[in-house]
Structure 1
Amino acid sequence: MDWFKLSLQLNKFPIRRAQKMLEKIQAIPEDDYAGYQRKRRNAIIDYHIQHNEFYREFFNWDGFDDWQHVPIMKKSDLQHPLRDRLSETYNSKTAYVGKTSGSSGHPFIFAKNRFAHALSWAGFHDRYKWYGIDLNKSLQARFYGIPLDFFGNIQERLKDRISLRRRFNIFDLSEQKMEAFLKRFTRSNFEYLNGYTSAIVLFARFLKARNLVLKELCPSLKICIVTSERLFEKDKMLIENAMGVPVINEYGASEVGLIAFEDRQHQWIVNSEDLYVEILDENGKILPYGQEGRVVITSLYNKAHPMIRYDIGDIGSLSEKSTLKKPILEKLVGRTNDIARLTDGKVVPGLTFYYVTKTIIEDNGNIKEFVIIQTKLDHFKIDYVSEYEFTPEQKEKILAAIRTYVGKNLTISFERLQILKRSPSGKLKQFTSLVEEV
């Protein structure tokens, strides 16, 4: 039985029609693709200007003549009641309604018309087939969070059962729990893992510490898909060695669906079928391929809610090898709010701290996870989970590295915890600044 199609059809999502549309879009020649995208961009703007009062007011409509004049939507612009943002042709019962994770600091509720949501799922189904994964038949080990309230928990587990997903609750990643995870793999024919990077990295460390290779215990395993959090090359090597299968990068967001997916040539192929992805500078100017800027996305088929030139909050660049039909995401640096501002005016990417501390932590071997929090312009706090506390020598190494790579006259405090706080969705944000931008 086609469980994937059945689960969507039961929820009134027209997956068959969406898959046929996807095939039709993919058949458009490269030379005609600019025309296809232009037609869809104009159509979705026209639709929301006609049917969405929120978007008419947001756009301050006085005629449309140039795509670059279309205003940029930020997450903060969408933090209004959903009923005020829905198109008049839809309501909360006739559209799919979801909520962002809030990892950017700006959570909001969004909506998609059912065809747009089905088209997103058709895209996932298409990409997974690149690796022999069939969403109708392949069993997934799902490393995600789960609602903890009774009805939300039951509803999510029912959806998992119908969708051939088996949930591994990442809110408890103790060794005892991971022992239980391991037993599930030995008893089940999982074909792939899918989940948050930090949780899968932690499970890979657990396997490595026991000199285990997961595929030897679960021979049906084909790939591991990581999503929602940054994957570093060392972590990728760790996962591949511990799992015994390739690690695939997936980039998506609940409000727009699949954004990019890694192919067998290790290229992040951008979804150009139902999304239009741009890289913009700070002033909203479209940047050429190869240059780094803000990732801005237009949902070409979402009629229920405008996602037009939507600044998703990430920084990245498209490869110079990109074409309109096949854009390639060359680099995904991180979120726009993942930066540290220092007393001397210096601005430092939050990832700098990751590299500084990761070397020390890997040398230790006892450290499982860590996060870095900027509490003041000159103070940072490192929370970590480990068997033993940092020694004075290890702390001094970290301080010396921070003085070298970040700045001088900074104070650092350390706190060893039993478990790190994750977002309600289960994500782990490895750098957070609590210092407000001036």
Structure 2
Amino acid sequence: MSSLYTRLVSGLIFPLHERLKHHDTVAVRRRLEDSQWWSRDRLAQLQARRLRELLQHARAHVPYYRDLFARTGFDPDAVTRVEDLQRLPFLGKPEIRANTEALKADDAQGLARFNTGGSSGEPLIFFIGNGRVTHDVAAKWRATRWWGVDIGDPEIVVWGSPIELTAQDRVRAIRDKLLRTELLPAFEMSGARLDGFVARIRERRPKMLFGYPSALSHIGLHAEQRGIRMDDLGIEVAFCTSERLYDHQREAIERIFGCPVANGYGSRDAGFIAHQCPSGSMHVTAEDVIVEIVDGEGRVLPPGQAGEIVVTHLATGDFPFIRYRTGDVAVMGAKSCACGRGLPVLEEIQGRATDFVVARDGTVMHGLALIYILRDLPQVAGFKIIQESLDRTRVQVVPAAGFDAGTTQRIQHGLAARLGEGVGIEVETVSAIPPEKSGKHRYVVSRVAVPGAPCAT
């Protein structure tokens, strides 16, 4: 049973907040809570209609797709089913980098610029409009309510975004206080910082946790090593996202915090793609997202076969993501979920792990603490960080225009400030960052054992 304050936030304060941002989030969430029970055939009909509308808008307003459709003879008016997408080429990060301006709709308003390092460490600049934000927030809100918690319930977020005392962040702090959500920065995890995190969680007594599975499990294991109980706080659920959730992490979080773990899959570029329901299935947000699983030749695979996840987000008319290659691998499930929802199911999602790194003094930090130093440098086209030992870290850099000795010094000073003075930071310029043997890219690789972490198998 939600508290009176939670009902006030969910029913009034948060909807007002969204309305002031020109987001129609409440209405979208209500539609999603209805459509989740539709049959797969009915959902497919909704997808086909919204896909046709997206493609028609792209032809009329997006230069990149206007030219592509003309060049290939593709007619959006003839789209009657999702499978018609297969007549279009894929959209990858190289295409977005080469056509960023041409991918903007000429009628777009309020586009927000985003910059993500991606799995290869190569910065990707793209734009998101209000429609996409509205639908992603609504989808996340719907999934939150699957677990009996709601916006306004006390929440602890363990995340990697740096906290800066700007005017915007002060406004955000007021908003978070009203919504009863609190951020714990995942950058640094020294013993003292972890003690503080554990104490704050115990004091806060949140109903839900949200964050990287590696960070939540690390905090939990630290509490366990200190002999501090965390399963008596009334935590209802731990939402994990942004990384691959490993079995040992799920087990540790559930055991130590005394709550179920709800896995989530998505990214800032591809959107909110899937979330786990209490019956255990990873449901695709099918009303907003079309997921294709393709093989190495680009052929769409049937359920039960592993391949790359390709996403078409139906609420991205301002900057369309149509057949966007995520680089992640998964299997589309063939069976319906026992929960009764008609939403399709993703299985065996892979490839979203971000390593921890260890500073010279033993401080454990999330790999994003180093990534943020490089990914927003315009002089860096790509990078990979390899922590060889506590005393030596190598950085492979694909230089862009303006890269010089000063850029090298900024990288060295930035990483040394995190890893510790005296650590050797070697910056090596390369023409390209090769993938791992698996074919996947990793932007941080640490060869230093993290205290308390399980051995790799």
* Partners of 1:143 and 1:195 within 8 A in 2: yes
The aligned counterpart of 2:409 is none
Offset, 1:238: 1.4
CA distance in 2, matches of 1:230, 1:31: 30
Q: Which amino acid aligns with 2:348?
A: K
Q: How does 1:22-37 map to 2 (within 5 A)?
A: 22-26=32-36, 28-37=38-47
Matched, 1:62 2:78: no
The aligned counterpart of 1:145 is 160
The aligned counterpart of 1:53 is 63
Offset, 1:249: 0.8
Offset, 1:306: 0.7
TM-score under structure 1 length normalisation: 0.73
Q: How does 1:106-145 map to 2 (within 5 A)?
A: 106-135=122-151, 137-145=152-160
* Partners of 1:370 and 1:382 within 8 A in 2: no
Q: 1:320 to 1:16 in 2, by over 3 A?
A: closer
CA distance in 2, matches of 1:4, 1:321: 36
The aligned counterpart of 1:173 is 189
The aligned counterpart of 2:437 is none
Matched, 1:221 2:235: yes
Q: Which amino acid aligns with 2:118?
A: G
The aligned counterpart of 1:6 is 16
CA distance in 2, matches of 1:19, 1:431: 39
* Partners of 1:293 and 1:315 within 8 A in 2: yes
1:71-115 alpha-carbon deviations (Å, 9 max, x no partner): 110122212575442101113x3x454333534424333333323
The aligned counterpart of 1:413 is none
CA distance in 1, matches of 2:255, 2:270: 32
Matched, 1:16 2:26: yes
TM-score under structure 2 length normalisation: 0.70
* Partners of 1:72 and 1:310 within 8 A in 2: yes
- 1:74 pairs, out of 77, 82, 92, with 92
The aligned counterpart of 2:378 is none
Matched, 1:234 2:248: yes
Offset, 1:34: 2.5
Out of 239-248 and 105-114, give the one that drifted further: 105-114
CA distance in 1, matches of 2:215, 2:389: 15
Q: 1:312 to 1:79 in 2, by over 3 A?
A: same
- 1:327 pairs, out of 336, 340, 344, with 344
Offset, 1:133: 1.1
Q: 1:86 to 1:328 in 2, by over 3 A?
A: same
Report the 3-state secondary structure (helix = DSSP H, G, I; strand = E; otherwise coil) of the residue aligned with 2:188: coil
Q: 1:96 to 1:294 in 2, by over 3 A?
A: same
CA distance in 1, matches of 2:272, 2:335: 21
Report the 3-state secondary structure (helix = DSSP H, G, I; strand = E; otherwise coil) of the residue aligned with 1:272: coil
CA distance in 2, matches of 1:369, 1:90: 39
Report the 3-state secondary structure (helix = DSSP H, G, I; strand = E; otherwise coil) of the residue aligned with 2:128: strand
The aligned counterpart of 1:393 is none
CA distance in 1, matches of 2:180, 2:210: 12
* Partners of 2:386 and 2:446 within 8 A in 1: no
- 1:86 pairs, out of 78, 100, 104, with 104
- Over the residues paired in the alignment, what is the CA RMSD in angstroms? 3.6
Matched, 1:281 2:295: yes
The aligned counterpart of 2:324 is 310
Out of 101-110 and 294-303, give the one that drifted further: 101-110
The aligned counterpart of 1:292 is 306
Give the number of aligned pairs.
362
Report the 3-state secondary structure (helix = DSSP H, G, I; strand = E; otherwise coil) of the residue aligned with 1:329: strand
